[in-house]
Amino acid sequence: MAPLDTAAVDEAVGTVFGDLGVDCTAPLIVLGDRLGLFRALAGAGP
């Protein structure tokens, strides 16, 4: 059995969780845009 390449595993895990984060965030951005939340936040000021 070949030794486990931990660098490759770390890279794969980082890629998977990075993609998962995008997959979870993208629908929320679309929903916020459709509901007009970003326009309301922009008009509210700091």
pTM attached to this predicted model: 0.56
Please state, in angstroms and rounded to a whole number, the distance separating the CA atoms of residues 30 and 14: 25
pLDDT in tens, the chain (46 residues): 788 999 999 999 999 999 999 999 999 999 999 999 999 999 888 7
Number of Cβ atoms within 10 Å of the Cβ of 2: 4
Please state, in angstroms and rounded to a whole number, the distance separating the CA atoms of residues 33 and 30: 5
Buried b (16+ CB within 10 A) or exposed e, 26-40: eeeeeeeeeeeeeee
Return the SS3 of 7: helix
pLDDT in tens, 19-30: 999 999 999 999
